[in-house]
A and B are shown apart, each in its own frame.
Chain A
Amino acid sequence: MLRWKYSRPLLGILILILAIGPMLSFGMLKEPGIQQTLAVAFLYGALALTYDMLFGFTGLLSFGHALFFASGAYVTAILIDSYKWPWYIAIPTSIATSAILAVLVGSASLRTKGITFAMVTLAFGEAGHVVISRNFGNLTNGENGLPINADRVPGIFIGVINTKYLFWLALAVLIFVYAAIWWVTQSSAGRVFSALRDNEVRTSVLGLNPNRYKLLSFVIAGTLASVIGSAMLLVSGNAAPRYATADTTIALLLMVILGGSGTRWGAALGGILYSIASTRLQDLNQGKALASLPKIISGPLSEPAFILGLLFIFIVMFAPGGLSGAYYRIRLRFLQRKGEKTASIPV
């Protein structure tokens, strides 16, 4: 009801522009630098979507989601670099491994609920980060990250001139993840996810096993995150230990809250904007834009986390629903003024 009738055609046109853009000889999209920034942004948008399914739709506040993103990147990189597997076997193996990892971590942490669940997943995520940064078994190359061996990756993904293929890959992953999340959240299982978020006791009284559905949501989100991790490995060229940190999950949380949780497009938009903003704010820092200000102001302003954190606090306290929530409120007011009585905000 609240959807604007032109929103889907407009989205289609936008995707078409993005898909054709890199082939044109004019416009911003032909710059490899912009293609790279957008490719990373699309992947973070997709990752935020998976987190939205976990947090916004199922109500699971996990602080270990980055673990599966990192395992997708690292297992692929290890299989390709150390074990010389071809990429088309390495990537599915990596995704399957991450899915098993998600089952194990999920079934242990889902013995707890709510805030305790958050703490426990945080500890599991940190364990993953420790494994990666301590370089167990000489596989992960420690704090330096694991660059992917360029000889073993399809040639079209290597070199600055080919950045457009990475851009298309990222766009395809975003569309795929969006479609998958849309399908899952619209399915009957997805409706149980939302029911669990709203009232777990009532859902279990209806005869549905809460933990089974929560685990399903956890594993689907984790598996999709590992798909994105493998794509990120190709786009950024290496697997970095920071992928596994709690900071990455906190960034995902910020993206989802910024865009508005439980609406899918809000999270994707939040992820894309957050990723672009943190890259651009860092450039601002390196530039001389802040040099004229006194250090007491320019110091914090040069840290992207300062501005994004303030924005985050503001949204949590005063504008719950983030960008998509604001959009729906404006749209609602517009419809009510037009005399539509039945309009209401979807959850």
Chain B
Amino acid sequence: MDTFVLIAITGIGLGALFFLVASGLSLIYGLMGVLNFAHGTFLTVGAFAGLWISTQVFTISNTWTFVGAMLFGGLAGGVFALLVERLVITRLYERHIEQALVTVGVALVVGAMLSGWFGNDPRLLPTPHWFINTVTIGKAFVPVDRFLYIGASLVLLIVLTSILRFTRIGLIIRAGVENRSMVGALGINVRLAFSAVFFLGGFAAGLGGVLVAAYQSGVTPLMSGSWLIYGFVVVVVGGMGSLGGSALAALLIGVVNQFTNYYFPGVGDFVIVFLLAAVLLTRPQGLLGKVGR
């Protein structure tokens, strides 16, 4: 029972990190139809920004500096995403394949720049001392940091949902996901919603980058590789453009991955792909996706 609790919470924590990557991907795809291969770069840029502020600006490392690093990483990821959207993606308006291609190029170039400047060796991100503590739930010793990932994702889910639900820009985004051309035809500036979605997605990914760096204890230019692929899987399983679907799918995939890896070491990633194939064969639009897009 105690291992069960431990694995379940670790799985939820992992799912929380997946959600941070996938939420932006899902919104960007849902609204603009862009398959964003540069999303992993947003994560890496956020992680490097978090690393920079925690080592160069903050002299100590406590809870508040870590929260600061998370927010700063998120901001860096968001601003970077905004730049990519403004400078590159809008110029290829409505040409989805080319947009996907150009994000591949951005990912290559930025990855190469970071490798060239910082090398590919992992750099340790300072974390508050309580990160290594555990709490006892029942008889299980659960590392505290898992709860941080879950908490951060929950907060982000609430914030994103509130933005989508209660603000004007959120309304435009939701309408755009439903039918973009109609929103444009009504004279509403959809382009503004594009930028907002890229900023929010970049923010989530950048914040996720800082947390991923804490989770796998290091920042490298190559850190985003498998996270991006998991992000894609989560988006497809959850349903394109559905934030709730992404959250559900991220949770499912995180937990399934951890349990499989515990009982059959090394098989976890493989089972995820089977899960993906099963979802595609039975429900091609994803768990909470809408038909007929």
Interface of A with B (CB < 8 Å)? 61, 108-109, 111-112, 114-116, 118-120, 122-124, 126-127, 130-131, 134, 136, 246, 250, 253-254, 257, 295-296, 298-306, 308-310, 312-313, 316-317, 320
Contact = CB atoms under 8 A, between A and B. Distances in A.
Contact of B109 (A116, A127, A302, A305): A305
Most buried by A among B105, B116, B117, B281: B105
Given A131-B270, A301-B116, 17 more contacts: A109-B280, A115-B29, A119-B232, A123-B236, A123-B276, A124-B277, A130-B270, A130-B273, A299-B115, A300-B109, A300-B112, A303-B112, A304-B112, A305-B112, A306-B116, A309-B109, A316-B102
B192 interface: no
Contact of B280 (A112, A131, A301): A112
A298 B92 CA distance: 30
A77 to B, nearest CB: 21
Contacts of B284: 111-112, 116
Contact of A123 (B108, B113, B233, B266): B233
17 contacts: A112-B236, A114-B96, A116-B236, A119-B35, A123-B276, A130-B269, A246-B229, A253-B104, A296-B117, A300-B116, A303-B116, A304-B112, A305-B108, A306-B109, A306-B116, A308-B108, A310-B105
A228 to B, nearest CB: 22
Contacts of B105: 309-310, 312-313, 316
B156 interface: no
Nearest to B268: A130
B97 interface: yes
A306 B112 contact: yes
A120 B104 contact: no
Interface in B108-130: 108-109, 111-113, 115-117
B235 interface: yes
A339 to B, nearest CB: 34
B113 A317 contact: no
A233 B104 CA distance: 28
B213 interface: no
A228 B216 CA distance: 37
A118 B113 CA distance: 26
B101 interface: yes
Nearest to A118: B35
Nearest to A105: B277
B182 interface: no
Nearest to B240: A116
A304 B111 CA distance: 11
Contacts of A61: 97, 100
Contacts of A111: 280-281, 284
- Counting contact residues on chain B (CB < 8 A from A), the size range is 35 or more
B104 to A, nearest CB: 6
Interface string B77-89: 0000000000010
Interface in B260-293: 266, 269-270, 272-273, 276-277, 280-281, 284
A252 B86 CA distance: 27
B107 to A, nearest CB: 8
Nearest to A135: B266
Contacts of B94: none
Nearest to A301: B116
A86 to B, nearest CB: 32
B33 interface: yes
A85 to B, nearest CB: 26
A119 B112 contact: no
A295 B108 CA distance: 19
Contacts of B35: 115, 118-119
Contact of B88 (A118, A305, A317): A317
Given A250-B108, A313-B109, A123 B116 contact: no
A111 B281 CA distance: 7
Nearest to B96: A115
A246 B109 CA distance: 16
A302 B119 CA distance: 11
A320 B88 contact: no
Contacts of B101: 253, 257, 312, 316
A309 B235 contact: no
A182 to B, nearest CB: 24
A108 B269 CA distance: 18
A321 to B, nearest CB: 12
